[in-house]
Amino acid sequence: MPEKTGPDDQAAAPPSALAPGPGARVALDVRGRGVVALPDRVVVLDDDFRHLRGFDPVTGAELWRVQAQPEARGEHTLYAVGDRVLLYAGPDLVAVDARRGELVATHSARAYNGGDSHCRLDITHGFAARGRRWTVDDPALTACATACTCTRRLFRCDTGAPIGKPFDGSEIHLHDELEQSASMMCVGAPNLLGRIGGKYLLGVRTRPDAYEAIAVDGEGKVLWRRPELSAAVEPYRRFDGDGAADACWSIDGTSMVAWTCSTGQIRWRAQFPGEAHQFSSEAHVVAPGLLLVRRHSESELQVELRDVATGKQRWRRTLPPDRVALAPGEDTDVLAFAQTTTYVWLDLHKGATLREHTLAKDQSLTRDPASDGYIRLGGSEVALLSRDGEVLQTVPKDTPGIEWLGAGFVAGRQERRFTVLRRPDFAPALTVEGGWLVEDSSAALGPAAVVLREQRGQDEPLRIVVLRAD
C-alpha cells in the first residue's frame, strides 16, 4: 500500500530483537517507508522519503544510498522492473538503477485529466498484471503505465519517460451541496490490455457510445485502430491472450471473440446460449493452441475446449455448480465461488474426469510454487498433490490462517500472532506479535528468503526484515 508523507513527531521506539527458529536467520532488519525486492537487491525508501538505500539480501550490507528527490510530496510507492526501481512519488515518477544506486531520471507522473488522485502504476508482462511483484524488463512484452480512475499513460520502464499522450476517459464531477461533498464518475475508462511484439494494446473510448481497439508502438504512434473490436475491449469483459499464437480474446456471459494481436484482425466469434446475467465466464490457454472455456451459473458449470486458431469446439461438459474445472497443472485462480467444494481435473483429449478433490470448510488449494503440482493447506495436515490432483504426500501440521505461500516459506496469522513456517517440514521459522505482512515482491529473492514488513503505526516507519533459511 502507498505510504503517506508526514513528519515524525516522536522518536520511533526501538524494535525488539527477533528470535528465528532453527535453520533460519535474520539477514536484514531496518526501518523505512517502503520496500521492494529484486533478484539481488532489497531497496528501502528512507524515513525522510527522499533517499533510497540498496541492501545485499544475503549479508544485509548496505550497498548504496542515493537521493531520489529533493523534497517529499504526495504518496510514495516502490515498484521493481528489470534492474530499475520506480518510485511513484505524488506528481513525480523517479527511476533509479538498483545495481549501481544511481538516479536515472525523474519525470512528471501526470496521468489524469481532472482532480482524480486514485492513481497507481500498472506493470504487465504479456497480458498478465504484475502489481508490485518484480518483473523482468522485456521490450517485447513488458508494459508500464500510470493508471488513474479515468486515465492511462504509458511510460518507458527503464527511465519513466512518457510514451505519447495520456489516454483519457470522460470525467463527470458530482457535487452534493447538502453534504458539501464531491465525487467523480468516469465514463469510458481506457483499458490497457497488455503488450506483445513491442506493441501496446489498448481499448480506448473514441465516441460517446463506442470503444476502439488500438496498437501503439514504443514511441506512442498508433499503428492500427479496430472499431470492429469495440465490444471486445470494453473493461467489463475478461481478456487474455497467447503470445506464442499471436492470439487475443475476450469473453462475457454470452459471447466470445478472438483476434490476431499484432494486427487486430478478427479470427472468430462464438455465441453462447443462456442469459448474460446468469453466467460468469473466462477462457485461458491450457495447452499449445487450446483454450479451456468455463461458464459458471448458480445451477451449473459449463466447460468446453476450443482451438485458439479457429474457435472450433473439441468437446463440452456440464458439471455441478460446486465444482472448479482444471486442466492438469493449471492455476486454481479460475472461476470459483463461495460454495465451491470440489476441484475436478480434466483430460484435455476428451474432457473426461481424471481426479476429484473435495476440500473441507477450513481448507484451501493452490498451485505449489515449489513444484508443478498443488498444495492443500488448513485442517490438521498439509497435502501435496500432483499436477493432475493425485495426493502424493501429507504432512501432519495444523496451518490455520495462511496468507502467503512461497517455495521456501509460508506465512499466516492468528489474531495478533504472525508465524512464518519453513518448508518442507513446516517448522516455525519466526513467530512475532504485531501487524506483519509478507512483501509482495518477496519471490524475487528465490525460495531461501522472504521479506517481511511490520506496520508500527501511522506516524512510524515500517520495520523491514529479510528472513533466510540458507
Could you tell me the strand order of the sheet in which 266-271 lies?
A: 238-242, 247-251, 255-260, 266-271
Element (H, E) at 417: strand 417-422
Grid cell digits, residue 68: 531520489
Question: Which residues make beta-bridge pairs with 188?
Answer: none
Is the pLDDT at 167 greater than 90? The verdict is yes
Spatial distance between the Cα atoms of 73 and 165, rounded to a whole number of angstroms: 24
Per domain, the residue ranges of the chain are 1-77+402-470, 110-230, 280-399
Spatial distance between the Cα atoms of 340 and 317, rounded to a whole number of angstroms: 17
Quick one: pLDDT at residue 314? Answer: 97
Quick one: pLDDT at residue 7? Answer: 41
| Location of C-alpha cell 499522450 | 165
Quick one: pLDDT at residue 394? Answer: 94
Spatial distance between the Cα atoms of 46 and 78, rounded to a whole number of angstroms: 12
For the chain, the 3-state helix, strand and coil shares in percent, each to the nearest 5, are 5, 50, 45
CATH label, 280-399, candidates 1.10.443, 1.10.10, 2.40.128, 1.20.1630? 2.40.128
Element (H, E) at 145: strand 142-148
Within a 10 A sphere around the Cβ of 210, how many other Cβ atoms? 12
Mean pLDDT of 89-106: 95
Q: In sequence order, what are the residues at sequence separation of 6 or more whose Cβ sits closer than 8 angstroms to the Cβ of residue 363?
A: 376, 377, 378, 379
Closest to 324 measured CA to CA, from 398, 255, 272, 374: 374
Among 80-84, 93-97, 186-190, 460-464, where is mean pLDDT lowest?
186-190
Mean pLDDT of 242-252: 95
Say what percent of the chain tops pLDDT 90: 75
User: Which amino acid does the sequence have at 306?
Assistant: R
Spatial distance between the Cα atoms of 269 and 261, rounded to a whole number of angstroms: 15
Question: Quick check: 412 and 401 in contact, CB under 8 A?
Answer: yes
Task: Give the number of residues written for the chain.
Answer: 470
Quick one: pLDDT at residue 176? Answer: 62
Which tens digits make up the pLDDT trace of 291-307?
999 999 989 999 999 99
Q: What one-character-per-residue DSSP string does 25-91 give?
A: EEEEEEEESEEEEETTEEEEE-TTSSEEEEE-TTT--EEEEEE--SS--SEEEEEEETTEEEEEETT
Is the pLDDT at 328 greater than 70? The verdict is yes
Is the pLDDT at 359 greater than 50? The verdict is yes
| Mean pLDDT, rounded, of the chain | 91
C-alpha dihedral, 21 to 22 to 28 to 32, nearest 10°? -10
Spatial distance between the Cα atoms of 236 and 228, rounded to a whole number of angstroms: 17
Spatial distance between the Cα atoms of 326 and 354, rounded to a whole number of angstroms: 10
Quick one: pLDDT at residue 132? Answer: 95
User: Which amino acid does the sequence have at 2?
Assistant: P
C-alpha dihedral, 407 to 408 to 410 to 411, nearest 10°? -130
Mean pLDDT of 3-12: 44
Quick one: pLDDT at residue 2? Answer: 41
User: Which amino acid does the sequence have at 330?
Assistant: E
Spatial distance between the Cα atoms of 217 and 156, rounded to a whole number of angstroms: 11
Spatial distance between the Cα atoms of 283 and 55, rounded to a whole number of angstroms: 42
Element (H, E) at 202: strand 199-207
Quick one: pLDDT at residue 137? Answer: 97
Quick one: pLDDT at residue 277? Answer: 67
Mean pLDDT of 63-83: 93
Handedness of CA 300, 242, 314, 349 (dihedral sign): negative
To the question of pTM greater than 0.85 for the whole model, the response is yes
Using DSSP, state whether 328 is helix, strand or coil. Answer: coil
Residue 12: pLDDT band with limits 50, 70, 90: low
Q: In sequence order, what are the residues at sequence separation of 6 or more whose Cβ sits closer than 8 angstroms to the Cβ of residue 14?
A: none
Residue 336: pLDDT band with limits 50, 70, 90: confident
Residue 229: phi and psi, rounded to 5, are -100, 20
Which tens digits make up the pLDDT trace of 314-325?
999 999 999 999
Among 176-185, 312-321, 335-344, where is mean pLDDT lowest?
176-185
State how far the alpha carbon of 421 is from the alpha carbons of 13, 58, 206, in Å: 27, 19, 52
Among 120-134, 175-189, 377-391, where is mean pLDDT lowest?
175-189
Quick one: pLDDT at residue 10? Answer: 44
Is the pLDDT at 369 greater than 60? The verdict is yes
Q: In sequence order, what are the residues at sequence separation of 6 or more whose Cβ sits closer than 8 angstroms to the Cβ of residue 393?
A: 383, 384
Spatial distance between the Cα atoms of 67 and 53, rounded to a whole number of angstroms: 9
Position with higher pLDDT, 3 vs 177: 177
Which tens digits make up the pLDDT trace of 338-357?
677 899 999 999 999 999 99
Mean pLDDT of 112-137: 83
| Location of C-alpha cell 490432483 | 389
Residue 182: pLDDT band with limits 50, 70, 90: low
Tally DSSP H helices, then E strands, for the chain: 0, 43
Residue 91: pLDDT band with limits 50, 70, 90: confident
Pairing of strands 238-242, 247-251: antiparallel
